[in-house]
């Protein structure tokens, strides 16, 4: 627990919520009137025992329950990054799920400008693998530049994918399908992912690979064969990152290298340079 950081985060957010917005009045006692809600008012709003919130803000509440953190975060209208910070300061770990179930479904529009400046094929998917944004080099991978609405569905069950993604059964499916399993484990109620899983299980080849696939596979740094529509056979190195504004979303960059053979060796890891 980082008591100082926790107190600063909560006291700042508490000061931004006016009592009037919650149907309450400010204390009438003499002296300087504090900004925002009082600690006692928060206990009143959240129907908690006296000093419950005070213990949380001061760091006197070891292992605060999830429902308390969630109620406080929603009362304070925290964004997803503040929600993550609250968990890290109070419990020393990241939250198991976003504060808002809709988080990860949209991005700031500036990400489209960022993608447009990337020379490699690149796209961003939301937590359900729906494609939120992409650049022109990525669109060029598809017939008539028609980018699929959902990247996971396309990679797992669309026949066209098995032409573009070279050696689909051995090089792609065994690595893509575990990502579907991981995504469903994180949110078993996701209707989009559940529908994709049903489509996978209805496909004899995909179902066999899905049931025998490893438990987990990561994207970042993986290299896979791909037949580029205009550049021919080659290999793509997958680079993955997460836009912080949308938990569960991913930025995927495909670095394409033409040639029938995989490159020998990988690019060296990047490390911070030590001071002289």
Domain extent listing, the chain: 3-91, 109-258
Classify burial at 81, counting beta carbons within 10 Å of its beta carbon; exposed 0-12, middle 13-18, buried 19 or more: exposed
Task: Find all residues with CB under 8 Å of 248, minimum gap 6, and list them.
Answer: 98, 103, 104, 126, 127, 186, 242
* DSSP-assigned letter for residue 35: S
Is residue 123 a contact partner of residue 135, using CB atoms and an 8 Å limit?
yes
Split at pLDDT 50, 70, 90, the class of 182 is: confident
Q: What whole-number distance in Å separates Cα of residue 80 and Cα of residue 20?
A: 25
Structure tokens at 41: 């008012």
Q: Is 17 helix (H, G, I), strand (E, B) or coil?
A: coil
What's the CA gap between 102 and 119, in Å, rounded? 31
Distance in angstroms (rounded) separating the CA atoms of residues 146 and 45: 51
DSSP H or E run through 125: strand 122-125
- pLDDT digits 0-9 by tens, 38-69: 999 999 999 999 999 999 999 999 899 999 99
Average pLDDT on 232-248 reads 86
Question: Are 206 and 213 within 8 A, CB to CB?
Answer: no
What is the helix (H) or strand (E) element at residue 117, kind and residue range? none
List of residues 6+ apart from 109 with CB closer than 8 A: none
CATH code at 3-91: 1.10.260
Q: Are 123 and 133 in contact (CB under 8 A)?
A: yes
Matching residue, tokens 């994180």: 186
pLDDT at 163 over 70: yes
Q: Tokens representing 129?
A: 């693998």
- Higher-confidence position of 32 and 168: 168
Question: What percent of the chain has pLDDT above 70?
Answer: 88
For the whole model, what pTM was predicted?
0.71
For domain 109-258, the question of CATH label 3.30.450.180 is answered with yes
Please give the helix or strand (H or E) that residue 133 lies within, else none: strand 131-134
Q: What is the DSSP letter of 2?
A: -
């Amino acid at each position: 627990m980082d008591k100082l950081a926790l107190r600063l985060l909560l006291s700042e957010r508490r000061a931004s919520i006016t009592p009037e917005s919650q149907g309450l009045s400010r204390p009438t006692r003499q002296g300087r009137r504090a900004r925002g809600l009082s600690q006692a008012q928060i206990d009143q709003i959240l129907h908690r025992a006296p000093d419950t919130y005070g213990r949380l803000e001061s760091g006197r509440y070891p292992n605060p329950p999830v429902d308390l953190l969630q109620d406080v975060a929603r009362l304070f209208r925290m964004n997803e990054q503040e929600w993550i910070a609250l968990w890290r300061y109070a419990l020393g770990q990241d939250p198991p799920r976003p504060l808002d179930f809709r988080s990860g479904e949209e991005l700031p529009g500036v990400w489209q400008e960022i993608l447009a400046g990337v020379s490699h094929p690149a796209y961003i998917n939301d937590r359900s693998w729906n494609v939120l944004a992409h650049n022109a080099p990525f669109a060029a991978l598809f017939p008539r530049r028609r980018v699929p609405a959902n990247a996971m569905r396309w990679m797992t069950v669309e026949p066209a994918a098995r032409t573009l993604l070279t050696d689909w059964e051995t090089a792609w499916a065994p690595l893509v399908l575990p990502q579907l399993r991981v995504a469903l484990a994180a949110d078993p109620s996701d209707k989009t992912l559940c529908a994709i899983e049903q489509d996978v299980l209805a496909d004899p080849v995909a179902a066999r690979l899905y049931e025998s696939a490893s438990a987990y596979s990561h994207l970042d740094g993986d290299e896979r064969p791909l037949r580029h529509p205009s550049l021919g056979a080659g290999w793509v190195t997958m680079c993955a990152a997460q836009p912080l504004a949308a938990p569960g979303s991913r930025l995927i960059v495909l670095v394409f290298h033409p040639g029938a053979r995989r490159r020998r060796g990988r690019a060296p890891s990047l490390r911070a340079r030590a001071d002289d």
